[in-house]
Amino acid sequence: MARATESPVSAPFFQFSLSQRWRVIAGSVFLISVPVFFQAPLVRSLPAVSLISTIVWAWLSIYLSQQSRTRIWGELLTGFTWTWLAGSLYWGWLRWEPTLHLPVEAIALPIALWGLARGWCKIGNLFYLGSLLGTAITDLYFYAVDLIPAWRQLMQEPSEVEAIFHDALARMSTPWGQLWVILLGALLLAIGLRTIRSSSLHWLAFGGAVISTILVDGLFWVAALLA
C-alpha cells in the first residue's frame, strides 16, 4: 500500500481516479490547441507581447507547482511554457524560414532531458517532448511531400493564400502524399494510444500532446480546404 506521503504524481495507477487521468489528457489537448487559436494571431500582430507573456506563464507554472493541490497542473503548465516560448520566437521573427522551425521548437530540449534525468517536472517535460515529437513528425511530412516551398511562399506572400493552399492540397492528394499521411498518422496514433494507457500521469501528458498533433493537423487541413 502506498504511503500517505507519496506524491500524487508518482502514485500507482489505482490511486488515480478516472476523472483525474482524463483531466490530464484533456489538459494536454487543450494546451496544445491554445496556440492555434490564441497565440497564432497574437504573435503575428504583437510578437513582443507574446514573447514577454512567457514570463507570466513561467511564474504561474512555478506558483502552481509549489501548491500540493495544483502541482500536477503547474508541471503541465511548465511544459506549455516551453512550447509558448518557442512558438513566440519562431512565428514572431523566424517564420519565413521553415528549416529553422524544428530547431527553435527544440529550444528547451536540453532542459527537458536534464529534468527527466533528475526526476524533476516529469509531467511538464514529457508534455513538452510529446509536443516536440508531434512537431517533428508534422515537419517530416512537409519535407517528404515537398511542402516546404509552399510554407516559405505563404509566409512571404500571405495574400496568395488561396493559390498556395490549392497547390499544397494537390501535392497532399497524390498517392505519395496520402501514403505519408497514413504512415505518419498511424505512427502518431500508435504512440499516443500506447502512452495514454500508461499508469503514470507524466506519460498521459505525453500521449495527450502526441494525439493533439493529429487534431491540430486536421484543423489545418480543414482550413486549407476552406481557403
| Angstrom distance (rounded) from CA 214 to CA 131 | 11
Residue 186: inside a domain, yes or no? yes
Say which DSSP state 19 is in: H
Residue 2: inside a domain, yes or no? no
Own/partner long-range contacts of 222-226 (Cβ < 8 Å, ≥24 apart): 224/165, 224/168, 224/169, 225/169
Terminal-residue alpha carbon distance, the chain: 57
pLDDT score for 3: 42
**Least reliable range by pLDDT among 39-53, 87-101, 144-158, 212-226:** 212-226
Residues 6 or more apart from 168 whose CB is under 8 A from it? Answer: 147, 150, 224
Residue 8: inside a domain, yes or no? no
Residue 5: inside a domain, yes or no? no
H helix or E strand, kind and range, residue 97: none
Considering its fold, how many domains does the chain have in total?
1
| Angstrom distance (rounded) from CA 142 to CA 46 | 27
Q: What is the pLDDT of residues 60-118, one digit of tens each?
A: 999 999 998 999 999 999 999 999 999 999 999 999 999 999 999 999 999 999 999 99
Residue 9: inside a domain, yes or no? no
Residue 4: inside a domain, yes or no? no
- Report the candidate in 138, 123, 102 with the shortest Cα–Cα distance to residue 198: 123
Residue pair 181/202 in contact (Cβ under 8 Å)? The answer is no
pLDDT score for 1: 41
- Checking if the pLDDT of 10 tops 50, the result is no
The overall average pLDDT reported for the chain is: 89
pLDDT score for 36: 77
pLDDT score for 222: 80
Determine the structural domain holding residue 185 and report its residue range: 16-226
Q: What is the pLDDT of residues 156-197, one digit of tens each?
A: 998 898 899 999 999 999 999 999 999 999 999 999 999 998
| Angstrom distance (rounded) from CA 147 to CA 55 | 34
Residue 61: inside a domain, yes or no? yes
Residue 180: inside a domain, yes or no? yes
